[in-house]
Amino acid sequence: MTNTPTTREQLTNTRRKIVLTLKQRGEANAVELAEALYVTVSAIRQHLGRLTGEGLIAYREIGQGPGRRRRLYHLTPAAESLFPNGYEELLTRLMTFVQRENPAMLDRFLEDEWRWRSERARRGGPPAGIDAQIEGVAQLFARDSYLPEVDGAAGHEIQFQHCPIFAAARIYPRMCAAELEFIREQIPDGQVDRTAWRLDGASVCQYQVGTR
């Protein structure tokens, strides 16, 4: 996957229009996008391939038979960063206020938040085997738009390409400690250590999982 643009201005004009069209329509195929943007289907497919490689769009296939299947494209969670909503700034001010006025409230919130996450994860219980447990963690965090990647060749390494709580974590780093403990809870057959941390300036949060 290539580096993902973080603003619409970093996209070419046509790719920016594709992203905006998919934002408005929800889904569209290559022919529909070509007609909407007055470009050829071949050109659209090239841009779609680039946007897919950047992780901004994905697709699902519909139809039956190899000659009848069509791809419907849609935006990924990573593309939401291209549409600022102001929530991060509001969250930053809110957490700064609570930390100043009642720090214990943040502690109680953190306990309640990760208790809820643990209960959600425990509905099926950790699967048997370290590989299945790591994959289970990846699925849990993918659901919350962390964009996890698992690298088995690196000896069971988990990377989070995106951090949806980064603004909050900068104010209250204990959120990251709770995240680490949650991951350890979900991988009882492994020894989990954080090896890269965005709050330390890394581009990703990374966890190494060793055998006990």
DSSP 28: B
The per-residue pLDDT for range 56-99, each reduced to its tens digit, is 899 988 876 666 778 999 888 778 777 766 667 777 888 889 98
Three-state DSSP class for residue 205: strand
Rounded mean pLDDT, 130-152: 88
pLDDT of residue 8: 59
pTM beyond cutoff 0.85: no
pLDDT of residue 90: 79
pLDDT of residue 7: 58
The per-residue pLDDT for range 191-203, each reduced to its tens digit, is 999 999 989 988 8
Model confidence at 6: pLDDT above 80: no
- Where is 98: in which H helix or E strand? helix 87-101
Q: Give the span between the Cα atoms of 79 and 69, in whole angstroms.
A: 25
DSSP 12: -
Identify whether the C-beta of residue 29 lies closer than 8 Å to the C-beta of residue 37.
no
Burial of 24 (0-12, 13-18, 19+ CB in 10 A): exposed
pLDDT of residue 2: 56
Residue with tokens 């296939």: 61
Give backbone dihedrals phi and psi of 29, rounded to 5 degrees, phi first: -95, 175
Rounded mean pLDDT, 14-24: 87
CA atoms within 13 A on the CB side of 138: 19
